Chain A
Amino acid sequence: MEFSELIKTATVESVLLSCVGLPAVKGTLCITSHHLLLSSCPGGDSQPGTLELWLLIRNVDAVEKRIAGSSGTITLRCKDLKVLQLEIPGMEECLNIASSIEALSSVDSVMMMYPFFYRPQSLKLEEGWHLFPLEQYFQRIASQTSQWRLSDVNRDFTTCPTYPPTVIVPAAVDDDTLQKAARFRQGGRFPVLSYYHCKNGTAMLRSSQPLTGPNRKRCREDEMLLGTILDEGERGFIIDTRSAQAAKQARMMGGGTEPKSSYPQWRRLHRPLERGRPLQESFIKLVEACNDTSINMDRWLSRLESCRWLSHVKAALSTACLAAQCLDREEASVLVHGAEGTDTTLLVTALAQVILDPSCRTLAGFQGLLEREWIEAGHPFHLRCARSAYSHARLKQEAPLFLLFLDCVWQLSRQFPFSLEFSEHLLLTLFDNAYASAYGTFLCNNEKERCLCKVRESTHALWAWLNQPGEKKKYLNPLYSHNALVIWPSVEPQSIQLWQGLFFRWIRSSQYLDEAWAEVQRLAEGGDPPVKESVESRLSRSLSDPAAQTENGR
């Protein structure tokens, strides 16, 4: 396929771009393989135009066109939730532009995506890809206990296609047992170590559901694997992220739960978390409500309630707290799983670690956590983040689990403003990049696919860009000070807030809040005058792709 075949009209003059909170600008619109550009020409033809828009087409979630007379309006609803309007003179041009954007934004082949073409001069391709090797993480554990070992049983992805080649497993269990246990778990996701709680030697494991099935099948190897984790007389907890009923129903489909009789030392707790389509619909409804500026107070509160997003935030935080509580307070090991073990499972294990482990709360530590517990752990980003809240396309496997995780971390940062080394800005950037990115970090669904597509060899890592000294500063929390304690959040409804910085990012002006943040930075850093940034420059920057800055710098 050639991109040029998809581009019906490459440039149009005198296009009016408008966006809430910004003055409208007129300029030349240009479509490239991956970007939508608009440059205004304030100084006449002789002067180079100012770049007003640099939009990654992959970021476009929905294209709506309206023709009136000889011109047309295209509304672009983006995955990062901003909404742009283009007024295009000429009906044909308008239709051509719209269908070109539609075609380009729905290219589904990973290797055709922008990260495979993006080559910034300031970064090297291999940079940032091997910052957080599992070996290194394992060494930390190995220095405390010999109970665990690294296994490369999955080196060719045959034991479990969605696990990374190396995983941490109980030292007493050999690879052969692992392979057999894998056959008893959906998708081969046998129990592996997610987190080792150094304070008391307890462990958090994760897996997928056991394939108990209607005939109550058992697997000696799986039972043994879990058995070795607990000493005699010790108790462990299995946190199932489905309701007891849903788990029971899953048995009819060949899945199920660990029955008490076969896993006598484990106590099962059901904590249903929303996933899949209902979660995506919750996201869609919330964004709809946020964009409806005509509603009154009662309507707003009732829509906020009925979309249930905040209920999901509360449930996720509560379940993560439960897991953390088992480890830290009950001094018991925990196994977390739902069905596939790639969604709510990771939400809970990753969140519990932010709550428990101070080393996950640094900028580097948090990146490591994302690598380990989301990316390498096989959260299917490509499927889950294919579409965002505006898309009219029929839902396939989209679900904003990762966004829910980021929201929960934001709630933690609000309740413990000194305990996270990174700022809200990082969480927003991660959200943006998970849905559309110039970097390869969130591409594909698992490590196996990443290997096949040669993501590590052919794209740049987001971390490489984020960790450049000049860039990094933007993501740091000036109030951070190391907090060795567990950060137990309040999960009372009064303590949980809607994440305005994300859901209203493009709807309300944040000028006064930004000024307050600048003031906080100034005070925290000892009183240098704040770096004044005009509102206009801030808004126009936020409109463009982060990559634009690097590219313009050339």
Chain B
Amino acid sequence: PHHVRCVENVKLLDRYTNRKAANGTLYLTATHLIYVDASAEVRKEIWILHHHIATVEKLPLTTAGYPLLIHCKNFHVAHFVIGQERDCHEVYTSLLKLSQPVKSEELYAFSYNPKMSKENREIGWKLIDLKVDYQRMGIPNDYWEITDVNKDYEVCNTYPPEIVVPRAANKAVVIGSSRFRSRGRIPVLSYLYKENNAAICRCSQPLSGFSARCLEDEQMLQAIREANPGSPFMYVVDTRPKLNAMANRAAGKGYENEDNYDNIRFKFIGIENIHVMRNSLQKLLEVCEMKSPSMSDFLTGLENSGWLRHIKAVMDAGVFLAKAVKDEKASVLVHCSDGWDRTAQVCSLASLLLDPFYRTFKGFMVLIEKEWIAMGHKFSHRCGHLDGDPKEVSPVFTQFIECVWQLMQQFPCAFEFNERFLLEIHDHVYSCQFGNFLGTCHKEREDLKIFEKTHSLWPFLLQKKQELRNPLYRGFTAYKELQPNTLPFSFQFWCGMYNRFDKGMHPKQCVLDHLAEQNEGLNDIAVINRFDLPKILNLLGKSCAQSSSVAGSWCSSSLNKADVNIWISTPLIANFRG
């Protein structure tokens, strides 16, 4: 049982106003840092999940005491000042340890217990079934099949057991192609646009070096092209900057030679690599944290961070794919280096542009499960779930979520869900409270036994659908394909994400919430229980108690069986019919 540490007389500084600092008590539980503001008239609590903590810094002593600055992965910044040096140091070392678990078993998901029956937990994991999505696309059909060739992870250990490949590509072609692709990540189907049979496929870079060829890989691409008889050619899109791709050739990797593949049109789309993105975000956050910056400071900083340029690059790539499929009726094969970062961004964005299903609650969950989780986006490394190589950390998924938000700004009625839904997902990618985002690929999640030992996020989000829905959503049929404007001015700084915890910066009144409430009528709104702190602290010795995301923003009571039955039977299944 974890000992709850408690430090009194801790100040919390407000970054933006000169308001008097709050004074209160800091608690460290097994899972959370909790700050209770004793000076406020209304009891105020701040909850920070240990997994959300990115960095803890001790700052030089001030007259008020020993400052401790905490940066969170969800962009919460908390600036505490602790009276005693010894307390400060103790909190500091505890947080360092608690925020960087070494072993997977230490992750919150393995101890999180919402008091749900085993049966319901299992139903929760079955909520998203990728086969159903392939069925929705009409697969299997004459050209495409779902194969279990990877059931023992022999073709590719970072792919799921079941993948969709062209019928014309037999096992020999699949195996042969896998030997010619980085980490065996062969071309597989990501999305089939039923209207014209054009497909979006994804893979990793070919091991072409300066001149190597692979007959099976060439046959694989031919099979993909021929699965779309309406088009005489297909695109092969390398999402890296050309220079990066060329540099890879020296290492025996590289990109497709147009002369070796029949009827392909090869194209580079310069999205920068994970290191550039990590640095860009770092710069952006520095801008967001500036103390009373001038407009010029802010805009110059925003420009120098390059962040919006990168967001635009990802969006441009998504738009290119969607246009190729819809307007040119051509299939597209997408890759980057390993095909699990930029490729995931671009493919999922294109699907979202092409198919209104992915703009529903259920569809968006499917999209993330399919293009990110199943296809081996290395959440564990990119999000730094465990103490590991900091150079592997990169905001690739954050960028995807932001692209979706940018689309919401342009198409306010096209999404069933609201900004808060995106933020919830983003929180939980880092929270390790649910099993979905643990590990780096399907095989690893099996090894971790997440399906037996942890809960899936999605049923919990669906339970909160009322507060996550977009009241302006005009339904499934109002918009088909989206063609966003990608001129620079169409991209806005996302204050709700990067300055999310600086409430003073946000509009003081929220239109969407107002409209949602107004139309709620007497409908049952998901009940939000405020945490009862003393009770929780009591419970902490026994099990790691209840759930919470950040800052006490929501705390679900345990799911009861009736709730579970309702969400399984009605809304979810219905969504699939659209």
Which chain A positions have C-beta within 8 A of B495? 494-495
A524 at interface (Cβ–Cβ under 8 A)? yes
A302 at interface (Cβ–Cβ under 8 A)? yes
Q: How far is the CA of A235 from the CA of B299 in the complex (A)?
A: 38
Which chain B positions have C-beta within 8 A of A415? 507-509
A305-B515 contact given A300-B489, A310-B295, A416-B507, CB 8 Å threshold: no
Stretch at the interface among A202-210, A356-364, A465-473, A509-517: A509-517
Q: How far is the CA of A211 from the CA of B55 in the complex (A)?
A: 58
A523 at interface (Cβ–Cβ under 8 A)? yes
A495-529, CB under 8 A of B: which get 1 and which 0? 11110100010001100110110011001100100
- A516 contacts B295, C-beta separation under 8 Å: no
In the complex, what's the smallest C-beta–C-beta distance from A531 to chain B, in angstroms?
Answer: 15
Q: How far is the CA of A300 from the CA of B303 in the complex (A)?
A: 9
Q: How far is the CA of A293 from the CA of B495 in the complex (A)?
A: 25
Which chain B positions have C-beta within 8 A of A300? 488-489
- A515 contacts B413, C-beta separation under 8 Å: yes
- A297 contacts B312, C-beta separation under 8 Å: yes
- A298 contacts B306, C-beta separation under 8 Å: yes
In the complex, what's the smallest C-beta–C-beta distance from A108 to chain B, in angstroms?
Answer: 35
B414 at interface (Cβ–Cβ under 8 A)? yes
A535 at interface (Cβ–Cβ under 8 A)? no
A414 at interface (Cβ–Cβ under 8 A)? yes
- B511 contacts A497, C-beta separation under 8 Å: no
Stretch at the interface among A86-94, A259-267, A325-333, A485-493: A485-493
A136-166, CB under 8 A of B: which get 1 and which 0? 0000000000000000000000000000000
A123 at interface (Cβ–Cβ under 8 A)? no
Which chain B positions have C-beta within 8 A of A500? 489
Q: How far is the CA of A436 from the CA of B350 in the complex (A)?
A: 45
Which chain B positions have C-beta within 8 A of A515? 412-413, 474
Most chain B beta-carbon neighbours within 10 Å: one of A297, A308, A504: A297
- B303 contacts A516, C-beta separation under 8 Å: no
Which chain A positions have C-beta within 8 A of B412? 512-513, 515-516, 519
Which chain A positions have C-beta within 8 A of B485? 508-509
- B508 contacts A487, C-beta separation under 8 Å: yes
Q: How far is the CA of A496 from the CA of B297 in the complex (A)?
A: 13
- B308 contacts A493, C-beta separation under 8 Å: no
B18 at interface (Cβ–Cβ under 8 A)? no
Which chain B positions have C-beta within 8 A of A508? 485, 487, 489-490
Q: Which of B312, B499, B505, B514 contacts A418 (CB 8 A)?
A: B514
- B519 contacts A416, C-beta separation under 8 Å: no
- A314 contacts B312, C-beta separation under 8 Å: no
Most chain B beta-carbon neighbours within 10 Å: one of A296, A508, A523: A523
Which chain B positions have C-beta within 8 A of A302? 299-300, 303
Q: Which of B141-190 contact A (CB under 8 A)?
A: none
- A295 contacts B507, C-beta separation under 8 Å: no
A419 at interface (Cβ–Cβ under 8 A)? yes
Which chain A positions have C-beta within 8 A of B515? 520, 523-524
- Identify whether the interface residues of A are mostly helix, strand, loop, or mixed: helix
- A512 contacts B505, C-beta separation under 8 Å: no
A301 at interface (Cβ–Cβ under 8 A)? yes
- B293 contacts A493, C-beta separation under 8 Å: yes
- B508 contacts A523, C-beta separation under 8 Å: no
Q: How far is the CA of A290 from the CA of B488 in the complex (A)?
A: 10
A301-B499 contact given A311-B294, A416-B509, CB 8 Å threshold: no
- B411 contacts A417, C-beta separation under 8 Å: no
A479 at interface (Cβ–Cβ under 8 A)? yes
B298 at interface (Cβ–Cβ under 8 A)? yes
Q: Which of A412-433 contact B (CB under 8 A)?
A: 414-419
* Minimal Cβ-Cβ distance residue in B for A489: B508
Most chain A beta-carbon neighbours within 10 Å: one of B288, B509, B514: B509
* Minimal Cβ-Cβ distance residue in B for A504: B489
Q: How far is the CA of A302 from the CA of B308 in the complex (A)?
A: 12
A304 at interface (Cβ–Cβ under 8 A)? yes
Q: How far is the CA of A527 from the CA of B472 in the complex (A)?
A: 12
A103-144, CB under 8 A of B: which get 1 and which 0? 000000000000000000000000000000000000000000
Q: How far is the CA of A418 from the CA of B302 in the complex (A)?
A: 30
Q: Which of B303-323 contact A (CB under 8 A)?
A: 303, 306, 308-309, 312
Which chain B positions have C-beta within 8 A of A509? 485
- B303 contacts A301, C-beta separation under 8 Å: yes
A298-B298 contact given A418-B514, A494-B499, CB 8 Å threshold: no
- B519 contacts A527, C-beta separation under 8 Å: yes
B504 at interface (Cβ–Cβ under 8 A)? yes
B109-134, CB under 8 A of A: which get 1 and which 0? 00000000000000000000000000
Q: How far is the CA of A490 from the CA of B490 in the complex (A)?
A: 23
Which chain B positions have C-beta within 8 A of A416? 507-509
- A417 contacts B509, C-beta separation under 8 Å: yes
* Minimal Cβ-Cβ distance residue in A for B482: A512
Which chain B positions have C-beta within 8 A of A492? 16, 292-293, 502, 504-505
In the complex, what's the smallest C-beta–C-beta distance from B136 to chain A, in angstroms?
Answer: 25
* Minimal Cβ-Cβ distance residue in B for A413: B507
- A512 contacts B414, C-beta separation under 8 Å: yes
A494-B505 contact given A298-B303, A301-B302, A527-B519, CB 8 Å threshold: yes
Q: How far is the CA of A512 from the CA of B293 in the complex (A)?
A: 33
A493-B298 contact given A301-B488, A418-B509, CB 8 Å threshold: yes
Q: Which of A310, A417, A513 contacts B507 (CB 8 A)?
A: A417
Q: List 19 A-B contacts (CB under 8 A).
A: A296-B309, A297-B309, A297-B312, A297-B491, A302-B303, A305-B299, A311-B295, A311-B296, A415-B509, A418-B511, A492-B292, A494-B288, A494-B495, A496-B295, A504-B489, A508-B485, A508-B487, A523-B518, A523-B519
B residues whose Cβ falls under 8 Å from a Cβ of A: 16, 288, 292-300, 302-303, 306, 308-309, 312, 410-414, 471-472, 474, 485, 487-493, 495, 499, 502, 504-511, 514-515, 518-519
- Which 3 residue pairs spanning A and B have beta carbons closest together? A493-B298, A300-B488, A516-B412
Further 10 A-B residue pairs, CB within 8 A, beyond A311-B294, A495-B505, A498-B489: A293-B487, A305-B299, A415-B507, A417-B509, A418-B509, A493-B293, A516-B412, A519-B412, A519-B474, A523-B472
